[in-house]
Structure 1
Amino acid sequence: MLPRGTIDITIHELMPGGQLKELYKATGGAWGGTEVDEAYKQFIISLIGNPIFQRFCKEHKDDHIHMFRDFEIKKRSVNPENDSDVIIRLPFSLKETYQKICDQDLCNSIKQTRYAKEVSLVGDKLRIHASVIKGFFAKSIENTISHVKDLMKNDLVQTISGILMVGGYSESKMLQNAIKDNFPNVKVIVPYEASLVVLKGAVIFGHTPTAIAQRVCRYTYGFNTSVPFDPRIHDRNKLIYTDDGLKCTDIFQKHVEIGQAIIQGQPQILGGSYWPTFNYQTDISFEIYCSDKKSPMYITDEGCIKLGQITVLVLDMSVPIYQREFVLSMSFSGTEIEVSAKEKRTGRCTKTTVNFLG
């Protein structure tokens, strides 16, 4: 998927029944159309200077927005096979701001820059040589191609037969040609109105959530718990005193890890059980976390995010604490995770849902 801001790449296998099986976790980066916009912004700054550009943005917000909207339209028409100059309208307020601060005409000043031979300004029309415009795409395309090539080296994706490009940036001929040139043995498909395909796919997925039979986790998911304190490995700041002895709190108890394949609707149950920390507890709250690390130790580690929590009641306080046992499970379905806490002695089950981030 190639929306304007990021490049998001997923790898799927089409199964006999028409369902999709994800083979590798979704990856990508901030190399989309906004990186091309950033290159254009830096180009403008090289012509007028950053202080003037910042003042223009501050004092003429509407013109700043319109300037980049004009560029958005123009960049869609940039074609690697076309060497014609591209003409972009510059706001009068930008020229006026430059004139006021520098006491020079911007048209003449451009002739003193390194773009003197490729760029000219007549009135409010900025004429840019095709090579300069194409250069705005270079970093975005280079990062995208490099990332796809790295993915192709993975044993799981050696037999890729097609690349499907969707999202607004997919409509760029510059990107399309780069993909086709670098992967000549793979069929490249760009559907009509690629910018709308993501929306249409979301609608279809909403009606048919079972269309994706298997997902691969982008994050590690688990619960906050406590374990017997071990001074050799645990942080003393997390030491607590419980009815069951010394415990280390804030432990990230992993249930599903990054890169693990999960089948739609199939509960992921971790071996082991959970008990109340203190004998007087009438309820237990299990906090649900995800992390961008494969095996975080604590929920306070960098990259850990709290998604929600599930609270279960301890109804029978007369039984020993070791009989107040609960088993937790996660079931991944569509865009949500169903979290269940089942009391082992009675079979009583409590459920909640949190967002599935991927």
Structure 2
Amino acid sequence: MYEQQQPPWSPTPPPGYGPQGTTAVAVTTRYSWLTFMLGLFKPYLALNGQPVQAGWGRTVVPVPPGQYHVHVHVPYLLPSRIGTAETVVGVHPGQVVELEYRAPAIALLGGAIGPAPQKYRGLPAAIALVVVPLLLLLCVCGGLGIAALVDNSDPVAAPTAVRPDPVVPRTTEPTAAVPSGSKPTLRPVPARTLVGPGYAAGDKTYTMGFTGWPFAFRTPGTWGCVAGRLDLPDAKAWVCINEGNPGSGQRLQIMLRPCPAPCGPADRARLSTEWFDPGAKAKTYDESTSYVETVKDAKGRYTLDMSHFFRADGGTQTWQVGVGAFTPPATRADIQKTINDVLTQTS
């Protein structure tokens, strides 16, 4: 569910943001001359997990002020996607945040995204792959008089250094549109464990309390969340990443929606099936909770999904909370602790 396909998003700016005060995120996408074949494929652009129609060049997306998680990759043949790059930006009223994305020169590397100018990752190695065989060919053919042609050939551009992704500020207060209501706080309840460890005293955490939600939960201290969208009825969703290290390969998506009365076993099974990826074989934790754990998926990531049903304190409405996350196996404890905390705070 953490990679659910969603319809293209064509947001409309709110009243008061005309041509002289447009609030937007502008992303300029480029590819290297060495990877001219990428021109046959359109880049994939998403804001807060919601796809946006884009092509190579500059794409301007009008948005309300707030924090936005920007994701870009290039759909390809083998592998199916290349050059994944992500960042989080804050957009103020009347501001157009300019970002530049550059696809890598080598398909196995990630892309680069941030303020212009960015660098093409892997360009020195890609140039070497072209130049070294050419030099060997010229040396072999030198005795046949090809050296004369070499003297008149155009020089090859010098390799350039690769600059890492920019460090983005941590999201300390979600600002995107959310349901009305008060902000929840953590409850002093006994800890529950789905899989793996839970948060312990001394762990550096940040409490996520989304306005209008019936519970709060903790993430690692460097994480931040921005509002997202899901193609599920009545669902409210947020996307959380490690903002202290955007290139860590860690991502968590959390969803909340009401379960229709009487929310019996059939209703719960249907909603859980809608949340989990198609064909997933879920394990039962208890009558209200099921999950899917993959130690290593096809991309080498650890993944964990949970579907849990609960009632808020003093309420009659039954809710479904769905959490889906992936991470490199070495940092699986980060998402295990967070999902265990969601289970604890909704039990």
Report the TM-score when normalising by structure 2.
Answer: 0.27
CA radius of gyration, larger in? 1
Q: TM-score, normalized by length of structure 1?
A: 0.27
- Structure whose residues are more often helix by fraction: 1
